[in-house]
Amino acid sequence: MGKQAVITVRQLVKKFGAFTANDHLSFDVYEGEIFGFLGANGAGKTTAIRILSGLSQPTSGSVRVAGFDAAREPEKIKKNIGYMCQKFSLYEDLTVRENIMLYGGIYGMPKKVIRERCGELLDRLQFSAYGDRLIAGLPLGFRQKLAFSVAVLHQPRIVFLDEPTGGVDPVARRQFWELIYETAAAGITVFVTTHYMDEAEYCDRISIMSEGKIVAIGTPEELKSTWQAASVEEVFVKIARPQHVTI
Amino acid sequence: MRNEQKQEVIRASGIAKSFGTTEALKEISFGVNEGEIFGFIGPDGAGKTTLFRILTTLLLPGKGSMTVLGRDVVREFRKLRGEIGYMPGRFSLYMDLTVGENLRFYASVFGTTIEENYDLIRDIYTHIEPFTNRLAGRLSGGMKQKLALSCALIHRPRLLVLDEPTTGVDAVSRTEFWEMLRQLREHRITVLVSTPYMDEAMRCDRVALLQEGRILAIDTPENIRQGYSRRLYSVRSAEKFRLITALRKFPETRTAWPFGEDVHVTFREEGRASGLENFLREVGITDARITEIRAGIEDCFLELMGGAHAGP
């Protein structure tokens, strides 16, 4: 299986004044991969994700996402990615169908295509009976699956997820991950950021950032064996803040 | 394992609470012993916050009765408030006050001073003391959490109630935070904590698993794990989605749930794992590794939720 990179980052530096938020990051993310992007608060994750999603420019280095250059073609990147965060993704005072139509419209999809995909999406999630219900009254697990499906409605090359399964019950959480696996198996790259180390264990590969640098990258299994840890959480605690003095 | 002269500091009997047609709590009963770290583990919407608000006298129960530190939560709420430290989900800090001002404010509200109880918070507060003059709004998540804990402790409460203290906090800060809670045991402070993170159950002395307003189980984490009655297997393959799909097709599969890198599987009849390897090979999955494992808290939670279906 030839791995094709959909995100290529080389020597990415981002400075804010004298502060270096991203310090020479280099990594690849492949097509159809579930990639976990971890780091302590303030490690520089948000800065990097803003660059990867075309919202911010690198100070130096090269970043290519979905075949486009982050410095010169950020608008093209935006059209070829999807984004979902746990806290806000859907408009609560719109119905399920209205949300789908709205997001499809924002991504410039023709109305006819949106309607078709809307029907398919509701069928696949077995949500057809809920098309005209307001988001506000729906259970959290349901909303998360819908938010994810909406984020990939325009069939992006990459979808970015920010703490996707926080707070849901264990069954809903697993249903959500199966949806992610299915999406990745269909060739869409899933880029996950999370604080929740349990969630990281579900990724194909993970990277851990600390103080603007990537300090570890590999499959969860590789990292656990390298750092002789039972869980990703243990790996994280060992390396994410090496200078930190514990009490 | 059980201590003979346990003193109960919380006793809840048939506590129910509804909001309109939503039953947030469905007649739950439990007891918490002095000096233990007791965890309510459950997803959003399980009723954790509602329960804690009743317990801290901020909300009246619809039905049932509850005594906390020997006082009735409805009739003796005033006296009780001075004896409880409560840290709500969104840390109740004043973002436009400095670290020092927040702490002084909380001390003064409870009629005490920082100096009087400094020994209790010293270990926690030293982490943020270098930032005494920084606005609380400008602290990182982990530091806000430590300040909020200091503020909740500054009047030396006998019971500390923490509603999702580790949500949104990174793994390093979470580990430190649990370490601090354990140290509070030396001061005989009872700690009640809620969390949606199943893995945090193992850090509590006893836990109640909460789902849709009901307690699914209440015991030590170890006893809950031992109560898992089925044989549980872990299956791993590089192609996770294909593996899950195949496991669902295997006729003997009872449940198949993804668990990080693995899929945890139970079978309709014990001992049917033997046919699985061949089945997987036939559908083209040749790298599957099958091992029998011990159930974790999350496996137990899934089982108690009524996991007797193979999944979605």
In CATH, what number is assigned to the domain containing residue B288?
A: 3.30.70
Residues from chain B contacting residue A231 (CB–CB below 8 Å): 199
pLDDT digits (tens, 9 = 90+) for B27-82: 999 999 999 999 999 998 899 999 999 999 999 999 999 999 999 999 999 999 99
Mean pLDDT of chain A: 91
Residues from chain B contacting residue A246 (CB–CB below 8 Å): 176, 179
Share of chain B above pLDDT 70, in %: 96
- B122 reaches A (C-beta below 8 A): no
Residues from chain A contacting residue B49 (CB–CB below 8 Å): none
Q: Show the tokens assigned to B123.
A: 């270990």
CA separation, residue A247 to residues B122, B173, B202 (Å): 11, 11, 20
Domain boundary pick from A124, A155, A186: A155
Q: What is the pLDDT of residue A246?
A: 39
Q: What is the pLDDT of residue B168?
A: 76
Q: What is the pLDDT of residue A247?
A: 33
Confidence of residue B224 (pLDDT cuts 50, 70, 90): very high
Please determine, for residue B3, whether its predicted confidence score (pLDDT) is greater than 70. Answer: no
Residues from chain A contacting residue B307 (CB–CB below 8 Å): 171
**Same-domain pairing of B237 and B181:** no
**Same-domain pairing of A169 and A245:** yes
Could you tell me the residue range of the domain that residue A95 belongs to? 86-155
Domain boundary pick from A99, A120, A155: A155
> What pTM does this model have?
0.87
Residue of A nearest to B210 (CA): A169
Confidence of residue B306 (pLDDT cuts 50, 70, 90): confident
Q: What is the pLDDT of residue A88?
A: 67
- B123 reaches A (C-beta below 8 A): yes
Confidence of residue B5 (pLDDT cuts 50, 70, 90): low
Could you tell me the residue range of the domain that residue B99 belongs to? 8-225
Residues from chain A contacting residue B311 (CB–CB below 8 Å): 171, 174-175, 178
Phi, psi dihedral angles at A142 (to 5 degrees): -65, -45
Nearest C-alpha of chain A: how many angstroms from B23? 14
**Same-domain pairing of A59 and A162:** yes
**Same-domain pairing of A35 and A142:** no
Mean pLDDT lowest for which of A67-81, A168-182, B266-280, B290-304?
Answer: B266-280
Domain boundary pick from A106, A129, A155: A155
Nearest C-alpha of chain B: how many angstroms from A26? 23
- In a domain? residue B279: yes
Share of chain B above pLDDT 90, in %: 78
Q: What is the pLDDT of residue A141?
A: 85
**Same-domain pairing of B175 and B198:** yes
Three-class SS state of A246: coil
Mean pLDDT of chain B: 91
**Same-domain pairing of A134 and A162:** no
Mean pLDDT lowest for which of A102-111, A175-184, A211-220, B162-171?
Answer: B162-171
pLDDT digits (tens, 9 = 90+) for A39-57: 887 789 989 999 999 999 9
d(CA A93, CA A86): 17
* Interface predicted TM-score (ipTM) of this complex, two decimals: 0.83
Which residues of A have a CB under 8 Å from any CB of B?
39-42, 139-140, 166-172, 174-175, 177-178, 181-182, 184-185, 195-198, 201-202, 219-221, 231, 233, 236-237, 240-241, 244, 246-247
- B305 reaches A (C-beta below 8 A): yes
- B140 reaches A (C-beta below 8 A): yes
Please determine, for residue B253, whether its predicted confidence score (pLDDT) is greater than 80. Answer: yes
The number of domains in chain B is: 2
Confidence of residue B309 (pLDDT cuts 50, 70, 90): very low
Mean pLDDT over B237-249 rounds to: 93
Q: What is the pLDDT of residue B86?
A: 95
Q: Please compute, for residue A15, the number of CA atoms within 13 A of its CA located in the half-sphere on the CB side.
A: 8
**Same-domain pairing of A126 and A93:** yes
Mean pLDDT over A143-168 rounds to: 90
A to B CB pairs, distance under 8 Å: 103
**Same-domain pairing of A246 and A147:** no
The number of domains in chain A is: 2
Confidence of residue B1 (pLDDT cuts 50, 70, 90): very low
**Same-domain pairing of B285 and B148:** no
**Same-domain pairing of B84 and B184:** yes
Q: What is the pLDDT of residue A163?
A: 80
Residues from chain A contacting residue B258 (CB–CB below 8 Å): 174, 177-178, 181, 202
**Same-domain pairing of B13 and B43:** yes
Nearest C-alpha of chain B: how many angstroms from A72? 33
**Same-domain pairing of B200 and B102:** yes
**Same-domain pairing of A73 and A162:** yes
Confidence of residue B262 (pLDDT cuts 50, 70, 90): very high
Residues from chain B contacting residue A175 (CB–CB below 8 Å): 311-312
Residue A214: partners with Cβ closer than 8 Å, 6 or more residues away: A25, A26, A27, A207, A208
Q: What is the pLDDT of residue B92?
A: 83
Please determine, for residue B230, whether its predicted confidence score (pLDDT) is greater than 60. Answer: yes
pLDDT digits (tens, 9 = 90+) for B268-293: 987 667 789 999 999 999 999 999 99
Q: Using CB atoms, which residue from A167, A220, A246 is nearest to B44?
A: A167
Place of tokens 């819908």: A146
